[in-house]
Amino acid sequence: MNSRERILGRVRRALADVPPDERPYEEAVPRDYLREHGKRTVEETVELLAENLADYRAIVHRADAEELPLLVMRLLAAHGSQEAVVPPELPPWWTAAADLVRIHDRAADTPQRLDRVGSVVTGCAVAIAETGTVVLDGSPDQGRRRISLVPDHHICVVRVPEQVVASVPQALERLDPTRPLTWISGPSATSDIELDRVEGVHGPRTLEVILLDG
C-alpha cells in the first residue's frame, strides 16, 4: 500500500462517525458576516483606502491623467533612480516625462540584475479600502511577481474609483485564482523583534501608491 492509500484509509477510518448524508457544504457553512463594513460613498471608500494605506506607512498620492507623468517623474527623481523596471504593457504615458532608462521586464532576466534597479512602476488588479491593500495579478501592466519585489522602491498606480473595492470578500470575487497573486499592504515589515512592528525588511522599503482619478 502506498502512502496516499494509507493516509486516505486512515482518514476514512477516523471519520467512521460522520453520517454519509451529512449536510452539504452550502448548508454547513453559514455566512453570517458582512460583505463590507459600513456604508460609504465611492469617494469615501477611496478616502478610506488612502487612510489605511498611509496607516501602514505606504506613501499615498492623488493625481489626474494630466498630473500623473510629472508626479511619476518627481517620485523617481526623488528616489535617485536612473533606471526603473516596467512591465510589458505599462501605459507608456505614465513614465513619459521621466528621464530614465526603462528596463523591460523580460530583459531584467536574473535576480541580480533586478537588484541593481532602483525603482519599479506597476499598475494593479484591485485595491481594498478596509485593509489598505493593493493586489497584483501578473497582468501585462503589472508584470511578473519578482519585479515588484526585488527593487527597493515600488510605485503602484491604482485607477480610482473603478479598481477600488471596500472589502476582502469583494476583492476575492474580482480576482482570478489561477493567476499568481500578490497582496501588498504597506512596505515590507516585521513584528519579530519584541512583537513590535518595524517597516523595511526584504521587500521594497518604500511603497508609493498613486490614486489615479479617471
C-beta separation of 85 from 148 below 8 A: no
Collect all residues with Cβ–Cβ distance below 8 Å to 75 and sequence separation of at least 6.
Answer: 61, 155, 208
In Å, how far from its chain's centre is CA 80?
Answer: 24
Question: Given the complex with another protein, which of 95 and 133 has the nearer CB atom?
Answer: 133
Minimum Å gap between C-beta 104 and another protein is: 13
Minimum Å gap between C-beta 192 and another protein is: 4
Question: Given the complex with another protein, which of 45 and 71 has the nearer CB atom?
Answer: 45
Q: Which of residues 159-188 bind another protein (CB under 8 A)?
A: 168-169, 172, 177-188
Q: Name residue 211's beta-bridge partners.
A: 62, 158
Choose among 211, 208, 214: nearest CA to 74: 208
Is residue 200 a contact point for another protein (CB under 8 A)? yes
Contact pick of 40, 47, 56, 139 for another protein (by CB under 8 A): 56
Is residue 123 a contact point for another protein (CB under 8 A)? no
Q: Is 184 left (phi over 0), alpha (psi -120 to 50) or beta?
A: beta
Letters for 4-23 (x = contact with another protein by CB under 8 A, - = none) are x-xxxxxxxxxx-xx---x-
Size of the site for another protein (CB under 8 A): 73
Is residue 145 a contact point for another protein (CB under 8 A)? yes
DSSP string, 15-70: TTTS-TTPPPHHHHS---S-SSSS---HHHHHHHHHHHHHHTT-EEEEEETTTHHH
Q: Which of residues 23-52 bind another protein (CB under 8 A)?
A: 25, 28-34, 37, 52
Is residue 196 a contact point for another protein (CB under 8 A)? yes
Cell of 150: 526585488
Instruction: Calculate Rg over the CA atoms of the chain.
Output: 21
Minimum Å gap between C-beta 23 and another protein is: 8
Minimum Å gap between C-beta 176 and another protein is: 9
Question: Given the complex with another protein, which of 60 and 63 has the nearer CB atom?
Answer: 60
